[in-house]
Amino acid sequence: GKVTVKYDRKELRKRLNLEEWILEQLTRLYDCQEEEIPELEIDVDELLDMESDDTRAARVKELLVDCYKPTEAFISGLLDKIRGMQKLSTPQKK
């Protein structure tokens, strides 16, 4: 219960859903099981820090450079999903 006190429960749920969606999409893009997805880290907070969707899209495209399937739908879906999300920064201790 300590985590939900520090963070907004709704934001945590959104983040969890997003991570599950990303995993599902990556298994389709790479046509493999979850354990076999290449080592790549899509850092949502990093994306949220970026100035524009173009910059975000370029970053994700860079991460998926070795994916042989089209990634445009995944990238636009991801950008749609993170729009309006907040960063999960570490809360300050009181």
Domain ranges of the chain: 10-84
Tens of pLDDT, residue by residue over 7-21, are: 678 888 999 999 999
Q: Does domain 10-84 have CATH number 1.10.150.220?
A: yes
Tens of pLDDT, residue by residue over 29-74, are: 999 888 888 888 899 999 999 999 999 999 999 999 999 999 999 9
Q: How far apart are CA 32 and CA 13, in angstroms?
A: 26
Angle between helices 53-63 and 72-82 (to 10 degrees): 130
Angle, vertex CA 62, rays to CA 53 and CA 68, nearest 5: 115
Q: Which of 12, 89, 29, 31 is nearest to 63 (CA)?
A: 29
Q: Which of 31, 32, 36, 30 is nearest to 65 (CA)?
A: 30
